[in-house]
Structure 1
Amino acid sequence: MGSCDRDGLFGALPEQGAPARAGGGAPRLRLAERSQVEWRPLSLDELVPEDHRVRLVWEFVDGLDLSALHATIKAVEGRAGHPPADPRILMALWLYATVEGIGSAREVARLCGEHVAFQWLCGGVGTNAKTLVDFRVAQGAVLERLLVDSFAALVRAGVASLDRVAQDGVRVRAAAGAASFRRHSTLEDCLRGAEQAVRDLRAELDADPAAGSRRQAAARQRAAKERERRVRAALAATAELKARQQDKVRRQAERDARKPKPAAAQARKKPEPEPRASTTDAEARVMKMADGGFRPAFNVQFASDTTSGAIAGVSVDPIGSDMGKMAPMNDQLAAHYGRRPRQHLADGGFAKLDDIEALARDGVETFVPVPTPRDPGRDRHVPLPDDPPGVAAWRERMKSDAAKTIYKERAATAECANAQARNRGLTRFLVRGLDKVRTIALWHALTHNMVCSWRLIGA
């Protein structure tokens, strides 16, 4: 009976406990079927979850006053013209892209065709990289007003305050190579070469208009003129730097005349090097970066509220040092909000005595570490005989435990804002020129305040 079972009904079954044969039949799999037509009655809105943060971005943008952008639109009722994209769409696309750490217009344009969140923001409105990049760099004044409005809204909601602000700078790599910097004399040679290239192109086209296609010829001519423009800008920058250098040498000579130095010290003094500027971005300057290296960069300053962490003010300049930037930022805040912060926090790099005294006259207490004196026996917190009242009060104030406690809020506020901006892509500018660079910094500041509103007020 058992033998019949093995040869008959159950003869094909493997023995109990025996491993499966490696040379068995082909595996059965679920294969992709991409040619199958399906009917899916879904809208874009249904593809995005209700708790997706892209909806928070749109809600934030929908509450902004964009009347200044609407005023520039030429396509109006009763007139001919192709209607442009809603400014709210472009604003939301860049805010959401900044949250995601995306700074390339080409990448945003690609995602608008492939990513459902960007498609949801577009809502069927087409866009391209040219439109996106033009919108991004042209809204500096609008973004500054929106930043002020966003911070004022947090103050009205009771979650932010202008009483105490912390300021810090972050050096961001410029869109210029270190090898693009030239001295003034070299730039003059470059300018002559660029002008000659433009003349040669014009002569070639005049002699043989069919030498190349119109599009190629126009592109070559635009490139030659752009090169000439950049070299001229670099020449103007080196001329300005040279004038400042000569003024600095003159003032130093006047000081030396009043207080003569020994001849040996005068002999050791090295002459100032010839100033240089970049033919790629004439407004960029070589700065010492956080890693200790030297690269072309811009110095971005953020002033943040210690209560909420929101950014109240932004400034950008091509000077690597933070010295002397505290009073101008405080003046900017006073102009934007109608009153000054009661207390201003900054690190030791901002400790310029003129700024401290000027802010003290305006009723602002500064909390900046007192530099270590050259004389190790002198107490740095004891006022000097020639200290003005504001500086003397600052020295004595920074000795107290209360001031030390207040100063601890600086790192948790200002450095946090800088770190979050870097995490969102503020590591290298993709645009050239101080105005465009400042506009990108404002995009990051407005994005920062948008995220703060989600945390402080809620969706």
Structure 2
Amino acid sequence: MRSVQRHQVELRACDLDSLLPPDHAARAVWSFVQGLDLEPLYARIRAVQGRAGRAAIDPALLVALWLYATLEGVGSARQIERLCVSEEAWRWLCGGVRVNHHTLADFRTRHVAWLDEQLTRSVAALMRAGLVTMQCVAQDGLRVRAHAKAASFRREPSLRALLGQARQQLERLKCELHEDAAASQRRRQAAQARAAQERQQRLAQALAALGQMQAGADAKSAPAAAARDDEEPPSATPPKPSQPRASTTDAQARVMKMADGGFRPAFNAQLAVDVATQVIVGVQLCNHGSDSGLLQPMHQQLQQRYARVAPQWLADGGYAKLADIEALDRQGTQVSVPLPASRNPATHLHAPKRGDSPAIAQWRARMGTPQAVAIYKQRASSVECVNAQLRRRGLLRFNVCGLLKAQAVLLWHALAHNLQRLLSLKATATTAAAVG
């Protein structure tokens, strides 16, 4: 009888390249990375020949790891580090190079400008190849949970009290650090001092964000208050002013209404998608809870990226701001946005209103035609589909703090999505050529 022997040491001749099939997604990611402009990333490496310093990891490897991780729905640097040891596809990408989670996490959020440039270059290449025409663009907002917890939001008195405590703790740790002569104890105290200093900085940022929110609230309430003074008699009991709150963890996060109706700390991720191909052509991250007023900035962004104006623009009813519709009409873009519902049931929704400009009157009349209804239906099959795919790949919550770092994560998702669409478009073109 032959029994199993699992402790017997075996020597097998095997190379990493034979571990993956030729059509594996990791090979497609590596091929895509080889076509990117990596010179700005190489220029930032300080360890060069002839000088002291540890050899740096090739940026191409780090870019490939994060693109493949985004496609696989992996958003943790520690998990990537473990996968690079245990999984064959990740080992193939590494090619014998060991990576740690600190390097991966820093690289992910450090090159926002480069990521934004690569998004422009990749879409422009698709446009030159005739795969993307950008004749019709659909825009939508995606509320993504912030890293901050709801319990981290504090009002101004609490923030000032916490800031005072953080300053006292930092001063006490600095004094202990100078007085203690033990090296190990000094290192621990230095780490505690750094943590206290970072907390103090976060609290100061939260107080600054409170000031900005209060200034914005005062600017918005002044015209409304003036209108009420002209229309209504003064009330005996003035309304209680609302007190804004800011997060001690992420001062730039804001509490927003989510898709399920609840309110949570989040960021507003704006996406512009080419309707014909579902390729992301523009991204923008902000902390505005509403989509109103965000139509024109995205339109200007696409003009700056590609020097082209989309003839058709689709968006949902949250973007129905008359000033934006007029601005896009002057640029030669026809906007398809549903009309806001009227509180008067006798009002004809598509009839021009008093004070409407010619562009607004045409928009109201156009949205009642069957052609406009048919065009607007394409929004659900384009940008809404892209939103669902990003959610499936893990864009549910940012695990970084701040608008800049969250913007980097959003750009990684946009690049990974466009890579997937590029592979699909090329496969479709190849099949059509073979059939033809």
TM-score after normalising by structure 2: 0.94
3-state SS of paired residue (2:423): helix
Q: 1:260 and 1:134, CA in 2 relative to 1: closer, same or farther beyond 3 A?
A: same
1:443 aligns with 2:412: yes
Match of 2:61 among 70, 85, 89: 89
Partner of residue 229, structure 1 = 201
Match of 1:286, SS?
A: strand
Identity of aligned residues (%): 49
Moved more, 309-318 or 184-193: 184-193
Taking the aligned partners of 1:291 and 1:32, their CA distance within structure 2 comes to 55
Q: Is 1:315–2:288 an aligned residue pair?
A: no
1:33 is aligned to 6
Give runs of aligned pairs for residues 18-417 of structure 1, distance below 5 A: 30-38=3-11, 40-210=12-182, 213-257=185-229, 259-263=230-234, 266=235, 270-417=239-386
Whole-angstrom distance in 1 between the partners of 2:254 and 2:387 = 20
Q: 1:262 Cα deviation (Å)?
A: 4.2
Instruction: List per-residue Cα deviations over 1:343-378 (Å, max 9, x = no partner).
Output: 110000111111111111111110000111121111
The superposition leaves residues 374-409 of structure 1 with CA deviations (integer Å, 9 ceiling, x where unpaired) of: 211111111112011221111111111111101000
Task: State how far apart, in whole Å, the 2-side matches of 1:118 and 1:57 are.
Answer: 11
AA of the residue aligned to 1:37: E
Distance 2:73 2:17 in 1: 24
Secondary structure of 1:315 counterpart = strand
- How many residue pairs get aligned? The number is 428
1:319, 1:53 → 2: CA distance? Answer: 36
Answer yes or no: is the 8 Å Cα contact 1:184–1:238 preserved in 2.
yes
**CA RMSD of the aligned region, Å?**
1.7
Deviation at 1:211, TM superposition (A): 9.7
Cα distance in 2 between the residues matched to 1:451 and 1:30: 47
Q: Distance in 1 between matches of 2:51 and 2:306?
A: 39
**CA shift digits 1:280-329 (9 cap, x unpaired):** 00000011111111110001011000010000000011111111111110
1:142 shift after superposition: 0.6
What secondary structure is seen at the aligned counterpart in 2 of 1:412? Answer: coil
Q: Which moved more, 1:93-102 or 1:237-246?
A: 237-246
Q: Which one-letter code corresponds to 1:249 in the other structure?
A: S
State the distance in 2 between where 1:341 and 1:312 align.
11
- What is the DSSP-based 3-state SS (H/G/I as helix, E as strand, rest coil) of the residue aligned with 2:231? coil
Q: Quickly say closer, same or farther: Cα 1:381–1:120, change in 2 above 3 A.
A: same
Secondary structure of the 2:114 match is helix
Q: Which amino acid aligns with 1:95?
A: L
Secondary structure of the residue aligned to 1:167 is strand
How far apart are the structure 2 equivalents of 1:58 and 1:208? 51
426-435 vs 117-126, greater mean Cα deviation:
117-126
CA distance in 2, matches of 1:119, 1:107: 13
Distance in 1 of aligned mates of 2:161 and 2:50: 55
Cα distance, 1:77–1:200 mapped onto 2, change above 3 Å: closer
C-alpha contact 2:326 2:360 (8 A) present in aligned 1: yes
Question: Per-residue deviation at 1:436?
Answer: 0.3
Question: 2:47 and 2:127 mapped to 1: Cα distance?
Answer: 37
1:51 maps to amino acid:
D
Letter in 2 for 1:181: F
Unmatched 5+ stretches in structure 2: 431-436
Question: Which is greater in Rg?
Answer: 1
What amino acid maps onto 1:273 in structure 2?
S
Q: Which segment drifts farther, 65-74 or 105-114?
A: 65-74
Cα shift at 1:267? 5.9
Once the 2 structures are TM-superposed, how far is the Cα of residue 249 of structure 1 from its aligned partner? Answer: 2.4
Partner secondary structure for residue 47 of structure 2: coil
SS of match in other structure, 2:216: helix
Note the alpha carbon deviations across 1:151-187, whole angstroms, 9 max, x for none.
Answer: 1122122221212100111111111111110101211
Distance 1:364 1:276, change over 3 A: same
Quote the offset at 1:271 in angstroms: 3.0
Letter aligned with residue 99 of structure 1: L
C-alpha contact (below 8 Å) 1:205/1:211 kept by paired residues: no
Per the TM alignment, residue 423 of structure 1 is displaced from its structure 2 partner at its CA by 0.5
CA distance in 1, matches of 2:354, 2:247: 45
TM-score, structure 1 as length reference: 0.90
The alpha-carbon distance between structure 1 residues 267 and 386, as it changes in their structure 2 partners (threshold 3 A), is farther
Q: Measured at CA, do residues 204 and 77 of structure 1 come closer, stay the same or move farther in structure 2, by a change above 3 Å?
A: closer
SS of the equivalent of 2:382 reads helix
* Separation in 1, partners of 2:212, 2:224: 18
- The answer to whether the 8 A contact 2:180-2:186 is kept is no
- Matched residues in 1 for 2:84 and 2:10: separation? 24
Partner AA of 1:254 in structure 2: A
Partner deviation per Cα, 1:214-252 (whole Å, 9 max, x = no partner): 221111111111110110000000011111122222222
